[in-house]
């Protein structure tokens, strides 16, 4: 969209613009309500459009809307990991975590409902979307660490940390965003370093990495 373009309710949107408008409306509803409590009618109301229009875009109903919104959120989440390969590693990680925590904060309830599972709309397709983001996060971290062929111990450490970060995010939302995002970010970064140090005791590849991290400012 052109930055200064007017967007009155009656402006004709392209199919892509309309779809994206509806998904934004859905995501903002999911941020405060569990997915199963958001109807297509709610989305129509939030977006200020007619019900038939929403049904035209999502003929598969609530489930289709939810999967599309999830796909769009997953895409946004992947962008959090886009970080140039320059500068100190831990600083890059901190910046990515800042974006991730802002995303978690913005999407609130929808993020929890999805990751905690047990939602009535959870299916193997939604699980696959979430797993794809997890895998992407692990690949990003390993590529920033500059490891060409990560061995199983290093890979497992990174995947465990990602799971722990997810758990921390859910608890953080549950506990009214305490501790403050800045503290949580530093804590998580230090945890990754500590986990890598433990792995380094039994894995030469991780040992080399830790030495590189120590000399990296």
Residues binding a copy of itself (CB under 8 A):
116-120, 122-124, 126-128, 152-153, 156, 159-164, 166-168, 171-172, 175, 178-179, 183, 187, 190-191, 194-195, 197-199, 201-202
Question: Which CB sits closer to a copy of itself, 44 or 169?
Answer: 169
| Complex with a copy of itself: residue 7 or 127, whichever CB lies closer | 127
The CB-side HSE value for 43 (13 A sphere, CA atoms) comes to 32
Cβ-based nearer residue to a copy of itself, 19 or 159:
159
User: Least distance in Å: CB of 209 to a copy of itself?
Assistant: 16
DSSP class per residue in 119-168: -TT--HHHHHHHHHHHHHHHHHHHHHTT-SS--HHHHHHHHHHHHHHHHH
Q: Which is nearer to a copy of itself, 199 or 205 (CB)?
A: 199
Q: Would you tell me how many other CB atoms lie within 10 Å of the CB of residue 165?
A: 19
Q: How far is 169 from 183, CA to CA, in rounded Å?
A: 13
**Dist CA 30 CA 38 (whole Å):** 7
Q: From the CB of 195, what's the least distance to a copy of itself, in Å? A: 6
Assigned token pair, 32 = 């405060």
Closer by beta carbon to a copy of itself, 160 or else 212: 160
Q: Report, in Å, the least distance between residue 30 CB and a copy of itself.
A: 17
Q: State the nearest-atom distance from the C-beta of 85 to a copy of itself, in Å.
A: 26
CA 155, CA 203: separation in Å to the nearest integer? Answer: 11
Q: Smallest distance from the beta carbon of 153 to a copy of itself, in angstroms? A: 7
């Amino acid at each position: 969209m052109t930055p200064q373009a007017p967007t009155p309710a009656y402006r004709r949107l392209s199919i892509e613009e309309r779809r994206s408008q509806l998904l934004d409306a859905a995501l903002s509803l999911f941020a405060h309500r569990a997915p199963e409590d958001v109807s297509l009618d709610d989305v129509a109301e939030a977006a200020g459009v007619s019900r038939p229009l929403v049904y035209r875009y999502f003929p598969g109903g609530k489930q289709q809307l939810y999967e599309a919104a999830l796909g769009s959120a997953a895409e946004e989440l992947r962008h959090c990991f886009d970080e140039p390969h320059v500068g100190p590693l831990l600083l890059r990680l901190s910046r990515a975590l800042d974006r991730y925590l802002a995303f978690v904060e913005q999407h609130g309830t929808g993020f929890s409902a999805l990751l905690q599972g047990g939602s009535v709309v959870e299916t193997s397709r939604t699980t696959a979307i979430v797993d794809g983001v997890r895998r992407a996060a692990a690949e990003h971290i390993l590529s920033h660490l500059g490891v060409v062929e990560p061995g199983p111990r290093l890979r497992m450490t990174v995947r465990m940390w990602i799971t722990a970060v997810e758990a921390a995010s859910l608890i953080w939302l549950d506990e009214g965003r305490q501790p403050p995002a800045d503290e949580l970010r530093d804590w998580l970064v230090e945890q990754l370093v500590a986990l890598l140090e433990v792995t380094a005791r039994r894995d030469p590849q991780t040992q080399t990495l830790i030495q590189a991290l120590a000399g990296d400012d």
